[in-house]
Structure 1
Amino acid sequence: MLFSQIIGANDQVKQASSMYWVVQDKMRESGGDRTLRELLPRWGIPHSYHDVVPIVGELRPDVNPEGNVIVMGSYSMRHAAKAKGWIPGCFDVGHITHDDYLARWGDDLLNASARVCRFEDAPRHIMDEFFVRPTIDSKAFAGQTYSREEFMSWHAKVMALNDPGAFVLPDTEIIIAPIKDIAHEYRCWIVDGRVVTSSLYKRGDDQHQVLMQGRIDDEVIDYASKFAAGSWQPNRAYVLDLCLSSSRPRVLEVNTLNASGFYAADIAKLVQALEAMVF
């Protein structure tokens, strides 16, 4: 669908912008990123593009807009948003742990039975093949499967490095879980209690290929909506990643909306939902 077709129907309902958008330049070259670049000026939403210094999140050039400001790009931008006191800034969920989600969502988590431990203690818990990721959305490393040999090689390098500035440290908390049979993987964007857009991004027959398909099953949307409407929320806006496992939906993980890939999200709906928020 052409961009003009995507947003044409929305032009008449767009109201005066409530936020200034600080966007990382040279983001992922996906259709969603290109659409965002066209939509912001088309709707008259004030915005600017910036290089972002990795890890520390420094913006180049610097910017200090008045009023409400939202950031969109790498996870490190949360530091700039926090330092400048921007509202909403970044809808950060990086402080919420696996145990926090387990306490609220229980068996709805795909990895509800995962072992939580420090990275340095992992060898005593690993299997021949297993899944590992940080207990929080820290972007320290991407969750993935490892063989025992692969993990032990990585583990030895981390332990030998002894660098306090490294992404992964001996005391970094991780989860270790058995490999699960996953059919499809989906991403849902949740804003103020509702699923505003969604996307399929992996299909079971090829878990290594990233897909972009906006229409997903009503069963998945209904399942995501249950969490969106729940009494406990990770933040007012977040990304909920789901999968089909054992013939039912499960929660894979929760990610910070400001730093998550768009896949086949309806960017017009997402921007409208974020712009409609009241702070």
Structure 2
Amino acid sequence: MKWLVQEFLNNGSNIVRIINALEHCHVDYLLVRVNKDSSLTVLDKADKLPMDKSDSILQDFISNEAIMVYGSKAFAKIATEMGLEPGSFMNEKFEFEIFREALGDELLNHHFMIGELSELEPIAEEFFIRPTGNTKLFTGMRVTKEDFLSWKERENRENSPYIGQSLMISPIQEIKAEYRFFVVNQEVVTSSSYRVGNNTDITRKPSKAILQYTKKIVDKFPLAKAFVIDIAETDKGFKVVEYNNINTSGLYGCDENAIIQAINKLKEDKR
């Protein structure tokens, strides 16, 4: 398995960690830039400048090879369009409606509503809102009724980026801690906390109980050959926050070497 890694993004630390792990694991990779026309340019790993004959270098690298990608959601989409295998593990199941159908009340925010910003109305004085599916217009957050209505009014314009974008709103849930699990071939290969209480915390290791719960959920709904699942610890027990695409997910306190080793053991058939 070879890898294509997108050049440093806003959160460059994840890219640096993946590159260091690829080199540690002696895995062949190319560093690439995603251009505005969705083409790729191969960069020199040392000076990060475009390489001569980039197109031929890329074609020679991916020809008749299993290729994994890591970077942005746009990059993952390009990998799918290029027909790379396994490429991106994103599929049509990464939608909250499908999560709810498969998991029921195991889903933390199972009492949600979905619509465009212009269609939605406040459901309480304060509630939770986030984009759905493969869209990351903003990070999920709490919003007050007043702020939501002001936001909705501001975006009532022809060139709003929210036109055609589905958003999800749901009641606020009190969460004690949240954990991220990287799953390959229905096995958790690495995990860590990412929030404890109201604070970012990547140091807490999941308990045996939450690992057992996660395995139960993974066996019940393994929506891809490799994926990321976030689990919350609440007063009502453990709940599924969401599934994420492994090609684009942040690492937090997880072991990137374990992720790469597990991915590279996969067969070329990603599903």
TM over 0.5: yes
Q: Aligned AA for 1:148?
A: K
Q: Is the 8 A contact 2:123 2:171 kept in 1?
A: no
2:208 paired with 1:227? no
Q: Aligned AA for 1:249?
A: F
What's the counterpart of residue 174 of structure 1?
Answer: 167
1:194-240, CA deviations, whole angstroms, 9 ceiling, x for partnerless residues?
11110100011xx2x4322262211111111112222x422111110
Supply the distance in 2 between the matched residues of 1:51 and 1:254 (Cα, whole angstroms).
27
Q: What are the within-5 Å matches in structure 2 for residues 20-35 of structure 1?
A: 20-27=2-9, 28-30=11-13, 33-35=15-17
TM-score, length basis structure 2: 0.85
Supply the distance in 2 between the matched residues of 1:44 and 1:29 (Cα, whole angstroms).
21
Aligned to 2:147, which of 138, 146, 150?
A: 150
Aligned residues: 250
Say which is worse superposed, 213-222 or 96-105, in terms of deviation: 213-222
What's the counterpart of residue 49 of structure 1?
Answer: 31
Aligned to 2:234, which of 216, 223, 245?
A: 245
2:154 partner SS: helix
What's the counterpart of residue 59 of structure 1?
Answer: 40
Supply the distance in 2 between the matched residues of 1:21 and 1:98 (Cα, whole angstroms).
29
Inter-CA distance 218–264: structure 2 relative to 1 (3 Å threshold): same
Q: CA deviation at 1:60?
A: 2.4
Q: Is the 8 A contact 1:199 1:263 kept in 2?
A: yes
Supply the distance in 1 between the matched residues of 2:109 and 2:238 (Cα, whole angstroms).
13
Supply the distance in 1 between the matched residues of 2:161 and 2:250 (Cα, whole angstroms).
21
Inter-CA distance 214–94: structure 2 relative to 1 (3 Å threshold): farther
Q: Is the 8 A contact 1:69 1:86 kept in 2?
A: yes
1:85 partner SS: coil
What's the counterpart of residue 276 of structure 1?
Answer: 265
Supply the distance in 2 between the matched residues of 1:167 and 1:91 (Cα, whole angstroms).
26
Inter-CA distance 233–154: structure 2 relative to 1 (3 Å threshold): same
Say which is worse superposed, 209-218 or 174-183, in terms of deviation: 209-218
1:61-98, CA deviations, whole angstroms, 9 ceiling, x for partnerless residues?
35232211111011110232022110011111466322
Q: CA deviation at 1:167?
A: 4.1
Supply the distance in 2 between the matched residues of 1:40 and 1:214 (Cα, whole angstroms).
25
What's the counterpart of residue 73 of structure 1?
Answer: 71
Inter-CA distance 215–175: structure 2 relative to 1 (3 Å threshold): same
Inter-CA distance 103–247: structure 2 relative to 1 (3 Å threshold): closer
Supply the distance in 1 between the matched residues of 2:100 and 2:29 (Cα, whole angstroms).
38
Q: Is the 8 A contact 1:188 1:239 kept in 2?
A: yes
Specify every segment of 5 or more residues in structure 1 that has no aligned partner in the other structure, as ranges: 1-18
Q: Once the two structures are aligned, what percentage of the paired residues are identical?
A: 26
Supply the distance in 1 between the matched residues of 2:137 and 2:223 (Cα, whole angstroms).
19
Supply the distance in 1 between the matched residues of 2:161 and 2:184 (Cα, whole angstroms).
30
What's the counterpart of residue 139 of structure 1?
Answer: 136
1:101-124, CA deviations, whole angstroms, 9 ceiling, x for partnerless residues?
11110000011111233321212x
What's the counterpart of residue 215 of structure 1?
Answer: 205
Q: CA RMSD in A?
A: 2.0
TM-score, length basis structure 1: 0.82
Supply the distance in 2 between the matched residues of 1:89 and 1:251 (Cα, whole angstroms).
26
Q: Aligned AA for 1:168?
A: Y
Q: CA deviation at 1:132?
A: 0.8
1:92 partner SS: coil
Supply the distance in 1 between the matched residues of 2:25 and 2:113 (Cα, whole angstroms).
47
What's the counterpart of residue 11 of structure 1?
Answer: none
2:20 paired with 1:38? yes
Q: Is the 8 A contact 1:181 1:245 kept in 2?
A: yes
Supply the distance in 1 between the matched residues of 2:247 and 2:148 (Cα, whole angstroms).
30
2:197 paired with 1:198? no
